[in-house]
Amino acid sequence: MRRLMTPRFSPLEGGLFSSVSKADVGEGAGELIKAGVDVMAWADPFFPDPSIPASVQTVMAEAVASGLPSHYTMPIGSADLRGVIAGKLGTRNGITADPSRNILVTPGSDSGLLYAMMPFLEQGDEVLVPDPSYPSNFANCRLLGAVPVSVPLRAEDGYQLDPAALEAALTPRTKMVLISHPNNPTGTVFRRDTLEALARFVVAHDLILVCDQAFEDHVFDNIEMVSPATLPGMWERTVTVFSVSKGLGLSGFRVGYLVADDRIMDVLYGGAVNVLGATSTLSQIGAAAALKDETILPAYFDILDRRRRLAHAAFSAVPGVRMQMPESGILSWLDIRALGTATEVSAHILRTARVLVNEGEPYGAEGAGHLRIVHGCFMDETRAVDAYSRIAGALQLLSRDSQLLPA
Ligand SMILES: Cc1ncc(COP(=O)(O)O)c(C=O)c1O
């Protein structure tokens, strides 16, 4: 039947007929978890431990008792949640958004990301995608018939976007720039000057920017987190994608939201019921409670700031591993080219340390020879640190074999 499918979908593999090495496809990591492996390959803070704050639990329990969540909200999201989001956008993002015209709640930001791109892309359109970046950024373009065009991010530039590389990738078919900011997997926070150059580029060439800010909540070292939608000329040509999964550790709620100018949003509102349905009513109630509780993010910030330092100390001490200090979030990005291919090294870590990590290739051509490790896993820090040292131990063995380390 694949022959009857479009070439946009038919290359997809869910692991039913061939093995797929992605942790989040098909049964993926599920079987390994059952076998006692630590999964540090899902960008899911504190996974697999419970992380619903008490304040949120109370609100959700009361909502269940009231019976209200048995029914749909409007497909664009509950008015209550959109109101809370508008407040958050004003105080934290510097974005003035009308909750009835500029905000759309989505069932997770993954669906929001694809939906944000759908109105703009036609067969053959080109989308500039920083490389490495979130695998969906490449895959979603292909699903929509568009062509993702890699814009390399270099370690020596701190993985910042290079305006000259954007210009070099531009063609008459370029329609969109798609960024994750902060970037997954490098954790890079694009700086104001970089984003201003990007904004000038987008405006000058009449492009659309889709900016995924799923990882915006924990930016370290006092680095400024700029939302590109606030830059001159960008509000009317940017769709910004947000999530409660990463910063608030509530991935299981499946709540994300899109923010855009009302001329874009009118179309997205128009298709919301048939494309997205509506987001879980109970989850929207929980997400609103979490966004209102101003104690959650600072508490997680301290934990994750410590974790990134511990992870960096453990991994970067291994000869042959190169790693920059993560600027945000929960992800470590390791250059392990001196030790082997990502497939070899991740298989060795799985065998020796009993930890599943991500191979770099799905993050783009620049991901070859790299690993992504989700150091923000586990509530219990001793468990996290134990996993870091098992991984580091496994890497040391390879280092020794490669004669980078004395036997
Ligand atoms: C950069 C980025 N954006 C979006 C998502 C999707 O998150 P969710 O659908 O849980 O909101 C992910 C998940 O890993 C991600 O890494």
Digit-coded pLDDT (tens) for 195-221: 999 999 999 999 999 999 999 999 999
Q: What is the pLDDT of residues 264-302, one digit of tens each?
A: 999 999 999 999 999 999 999 999 999 999 999 999 999
Instruction: Report whether 339 contacts 319 (CB < 8 A).
Output: no
The DSSP code sequence of 6-22 is -TTTTT---SSSS----
Least confident of 14-28, 331-345, 377-391, 392-406: 14-28
What pLDDT shows up at residue 403? 78
Q: Which two tokens stand for residue 388?
A: 């870091």
For residue 153, which of 373, 321, 360, 392 has the smallest C-alpha distance?
360
Average pLDDT over residues 50-56: 98
**Whole-number Å distance between alpha carbons of 223 and 231:** 17
Query: Rounded to 5 degrees, what are φ and ψ at 310?
Result: -65, -45
Residue nearest to atom 2 of ligand 1 (CA): 214
- Of 136, 186, 248, 333, which is best to mutate to test ligand 1, by the most ligand atoms within 8 angstroms of its C-beta? 136
What separation in Å is there between the alpha carbon of 87 and the centre of ligand 1?
Answer: 22
Q: Provide the sign of the torsion angle of the four alpha carbons 169, 171, 173, 177, taken in this order.
A: positive
Q: Which two tokens stand for residue 95?
A: 């974005």
Instruction: Report whether 353 contacts 387 (CB < 8 A).
Output: yes
What separation in Å is there between the alpha carbon of 45 and the centre of ligand 1?
Answer: 11
Question: Under 8 Å CB-to-CB from 222, ≥6 apart: which residues?
Answer: none
**Whole-number Å distance between alpha carbons of 164 and 201:** 10
Residue 22 has pLDDT above 70, yes or no: no
What domains lie within the chain, and their CATH numbers? Answer: 2-51+296-398 (3.90.1150.10), 54-292 (3.40.640.10)
What separation in Å is there between the alpha carbon of 362 and the centre of ligand 1?
Answer: 15
Helix pair 109-117, 262-275: axis angle to 10 deg: 120
Residue 21 has pLDDT above 90, yes or no: no
Q: Which two tokens stand for residue 298?
A: 């600072």
Q: Residues with Cβ within 6 A of ligand 1? A: 43, 108-110, 113, 134, 180, 184, 212, 214, 243, 245, 251, 256
Percent of the chain with pLDDT over 70: 98
Atom of ligand 1 nearest to the CA of 134: 1
Instruction: Report whether 277 contacts 299 (CB < 8 A).
Output: no
How many C-beta neighbours within 10 Å does residue 298 have? 9
**Whole-number Å distance between alpha carbons of 370 and 392:** 15
What pLDDT shows up at residue 33? 87
3-state DSSP assignment of residue 208: strand
What pLDDT shows up at residue 19? 77
Instruction: Report whether 347 contacts 387 (CB < 8 A).
Output: no
Average pLDDT over residues 351-379: 97
**Whole-number Å distance between alpha carbons of 272 and 259:** 14
- Of 246, 248, 331, which is best to mutate to test ligand 1, by the most ligand atoms within 8 angstroms of its C-beta? 246
Q: What is the mean pLDDT of the chain?
A: 96
What separation in Å is there between the alpha carbon of 50 and the centre of ligand 1?
Answer: 19
What pLDDT shows up at residue 307? 98
Average pLDDT over residues 35-57: 96
The DSSP code sequence of 241-266 is EEESSSTTS-GGG--EEEE--HHHHH
3-state secondary structure 123-185: CCCEEEEEECCCHHHHHHHHHCCCEEEEEECCHHHCCCCCHHHHHHHCCCCEEEEEEECCCCC
**Whole-number Å distance between alpha carbons of 310 and 303:** 11
Q: Band of the pLDDT at 406, cuts 50, 70, 90?
A: low
Q: What is the pLDDT of residues 92-151, one digit of tens each?
A: 999 999 999 999 999 999 999 999 999 999 999 999 999 999 999 999 999 999 999 999
Least confident of 1-15, 170-184, 333-347: 1-15
What pLDDT shows up at residue 18? 81
Least confident of 28-42, 174-188, 368-382: 28-42
**Whole-number Å distance between alpha carbons of 219 and 197:** 21
DSSP H or E stretch at residue 196: helix 192-204
Alpha-helical runs (H) found in 89-178 = 109-117, 135-143, 163-169
What pLDDT shows up at residue 407? 58
Average pLDDT over residues 303-319: 98
Q: Is 347 exposed, middle or buried (0-12, 13-18, 19+ CB in 10 A)?
A: middle
Question: What end-to-end distance do the CA atoms of the chain give, in Å?
Answer: 55
Instruction: Report whether 227 contacts 241 (CB < 8 A).
Output: no
**Whole-number Å distance between alpha carbons of 364 and 361:** 6
Could you tell me which residues are beta bridge partners of residue 177? 128, 209
Residue 68 has pLDDT above 80, yes or no: yes
Q: Which two tokens stand for residue 395?
A: 């890497």
How many C-beta neighbours within 10 Å does residue 292 have? 14
